[in-house]
Structure 1
């Protein structure tokens, strides 16, 4: 089958950042001479760094800073949203989030947008996990629960990314907030009038009545930043005010949809499935329609074990990085654990993968404090800190699985179709308790076959046209 998306394979193709210019900006920012600044040193494998390329610069006193070069995906908004998210979390929590020294979200001598920030200590969780003993892992569990709890205290009445307000006066670095200050990372240069106008046009929903320093604007979820699909512009990813609208916008990759006519019927069915499940929780305080907008909490949005840094000698979280997908969304979407502690695929159907039911966990003996003990500790700490966190983790797994299917890539890479078929076949929708299945599965299969045949014919005709022209 022909691939039916028209994005790009690599957003860095044809983009050649001027690292000499970046180094000069580092010297300018920290007021050091050229000879006092080390060369740009890549952090990680640049070949696999698609959304951003990261470099470190060594400064006097063995201090290093990080330059995060941003791929040209959703220009202006992605960088502005990421910086605002870090400022917002740093000003309202005690979480270890990098300090931004200066950034640029417009054209500049480097050739791409960039963020110059603090170098956080520690190593990636994915690299250190296997070497941690139980006590270190337990320390990490406590820090992870604390992170979820602190972020959950940050609320909004809509789903969207967060942006600094753009007053019509001047581009302020710091603004008063009661008796303290709200953090406002400085831009390298003031924004152009065109960029200011664009931000004001799309970011105009206040965070709350008492906070005039932030606005809710276009959604920046991973699902709408995938360059292999069309990346919808800000006008097609505006803030939404219900959970169903949030799922629908992500499923269709924007509003109006940017999905192909061949793919939309699959999105229709997954959205229908979600809407039907959501309606079953009519009075639930976390999962049903009555929960909107009380459950819109601030979430990292891409919290995997490569975006958490820890001290490998203690298990303590030392840094939380890569906030480009952060924003307000339904609370249950993000409380899923991290790395080894992410149990979703163990407990429920995800894509084409049936749940493993913890079959690979090591034996749970009283003397070993093994895998089962650690999982139990995580759940217990969630419940002790905040029972709603525990409910989101345990009870939100089916909704997260359907959301995953809704936002998956099209066939032949994506598995949304397989998920729907398997979901129905293995009885995830218990009709004795939930009533009839949300749609006629047999009719949908026939529609799918028809669409596949139409795509095959179109592909054959296209190939014939190319041959005849040759």
Structure 2
């Protein structure tokens, strides 16, 4: 810029889903994250209406994240520094999870949802620590699985949903609608080298799924969700990996978290996962067991010892 400031411009990738909804939701989500003091880049400008702006595309212009990408320094950090950073992430996620919503869906500004042809659903945001302005609403999910290809023109159930089981049912209904309208017989070699897979096979399987879909949600004997704490609708980052996090290389503090595209509010048990940046790729001991070196470790070669230590660190980061 003329004043020396650096900014980034984001344009939606074709595989990102519905560009208008994706951009509108990300801008609103990051605004809410800012209200909660999460370290997200400030949005300087944005538009989800390609037909009316000078760019001719949906876009977000945002501040340049200070610091360096975590992926460029992670492998050089000692284990304690990595554990301290994971603790920072846990604190940020806890801040986000302390705010609850009545519905499962994506966050939008109310006025933007109306401009997108949707009726805004009140977010009913509950927070004991932050004052949330009444500008937000809950609307449809923006994930590409619901919008890519011919699905963009289908009348699918993309939310929002009041009950966790409504989502499990919507998954089935949406796939049934797609198969009936567009699926054709095909060879699927993971299934058979000789016979085709037919749409009727998928419909038969989905029929069985629909019979049990409501029971996939943890419930008590009286039909209520069994654990209210894990069923609350909360916001989390959709896919934390090393290049989504910027850090100060001197203080090792998180400066920004980027890539909030398709972030959604959902029951906590739907979010239950280990972030990709910490996921161990291999066998993992179950339970509260700290991985340890094998007894014969001292007899192994330096290369074998290095591999074992790398694997142990990966397991420890996953468990932490």
The TM-score, its normalising length taken from structure 1, stands at 0.50
**1:204: which partner in 2?**
121
Highest RCO, 1 vs 2 (Cα 8 Å, sep ≥ 6): 2
Secondary structure of residue in 2 paired with 1:83: helix
* CA deviation after TM superposition for structure 1 residue 231, in Å: 3.4
Q: Is the 8 A contact 1:126 1:339 kept in 2?
A: no
- Given the superposition, is the C-alpha separation of residues 131 and 268 from structure 1 closer, same or farther in structure 2, using an over 3 Å criterion? farther
Can you list the C-alpha shifts for 1:411-449, whole angstroms capped at 9, x where unaligned?
A: xxxxxxxxxxxxxxxxxxxxxxxxxxxxxxxxxxxxxxx
- Given the superposition, is the C-alpha separation of residues 207 and 133 from structure 1 closer, same or farther in structure 2, using an over 3 Å criterion? same
- Given the superposition, is the C-alpha separation of residues 340 and 235 from structure 1 closer, same or farther in structure 2, using an over 3 Å criterion? closer
Where does the alignment leave 5 or more consecutive residues of structure 1 unmatched? 1-36, 38-58, 167-190, 347-355, 381-470
* CA deviation after TM superposition for structure 1 residue 251, in Å: 4.9
In the alignment, which of 313, 316, 321 is matched to residue 253 of structure 2?
A: 316
Secondary structure of residue in 1 paired with 2:255: strand
Q: Take 1:130 and 1:228, find their aligned partners in 2: how far apart are those partners?
A: 38
1:158 maps to 2:103:
yes
- Given the superposition, is the C-alpha separation of residues 232 and 299 from structure 1 closer, same or farther in structure 2, using an over 3 Å criterion? farther
In the alignment, which of 175, 178, 183 is matched to residue 258 of structure 1?
A: 178
Q: Is the 8 A contact 1:157 1:294 kept in 2?
A: no
User: What are the residue-to-residue correspondences of 1:192-341 with 2, within 5 Å?
Assistant: 196-199=114-117, 201-208=118-125, 212-225=134-147, 227=148, 230-231=151-152, 236-253=157-174, 257-260=177-180, 262=199, 263-270=202-209, 275-279=214-218, 281-282=219-220, 288=225, 291=228, 294-341=231-278
Can you list the C-alpha shifts for 1:327-357, whole angstroms capped at 9, x where unaligned?
A: 21111232422234235x75xxxxxxxxx33
Can you list the C-alpha shifts for 1:28-52, whole angstroms capped at 9, x where unaligned?
A: xxxxxxxxx4xxxxxxxxxxxxxxx
Q: Is the 8 A contact 1:202 1:218 kept in 2?
A: no
- Given the superposition, is the C-alpha separation of residues 376 and 236 from structure 1 closer, same or farther in structure 2, using an over 3 Å criterion? same
In the alignment, which of 70, 76, 87 is matched to residue 125 of structure 1?
A: 70
1:76 maps to 2:20:
yes
Count residues in correspondence: 277
Q: Take 2:272 and 2:292, find their aligned partners in 1: how far apart are those partners?
A: 25
Q: Take 2:150 and 2:81, find their aligned partners in 1: how far apart are those partners?
A: 40
Q: Take 1:157 and 1:313, find their aligned partners in 2: how far apart are those partners?
A: 41
Q: Take 1:333 and 1:298, find their aligned partners in 2: how far apart are those partners?
A: 11
**2:301: which partner in 1?**
none
Q: Take 1:293 and 1:259, find their aligned partners in 2: how far apart are those partners?
A: 33
Q: Take 2:229 and 2:82, find their aligned partners in 1: how far apart are those partners?
A: 35
**2:43: which partner in 1?**
100
**2:292: which partner in 1?**
364
> Over aligned residue pairs, what C-alpha RMSD do you find?
3.9
The TM-score, its normalising length taken from structure 2, stands at 0.70
Q: Is the 8 A contact 2:235 2:264 kept in 1?
A: yes
- Given the superposition, is the C-alpha separation of residues 269 and 138 from structure 1 closer, same or farther in structure 2, using an over 3 Å criterion? same
**1:188: which partner in 2?**
none
Q: Take 1:305 and 1:268, find their aligned partners in 2: how far apart are those partners?
A: 40
1:143 maps to 2:70:
no
Q: Is the 8 A contact 2:279 2:318 kept in 1?
A: no
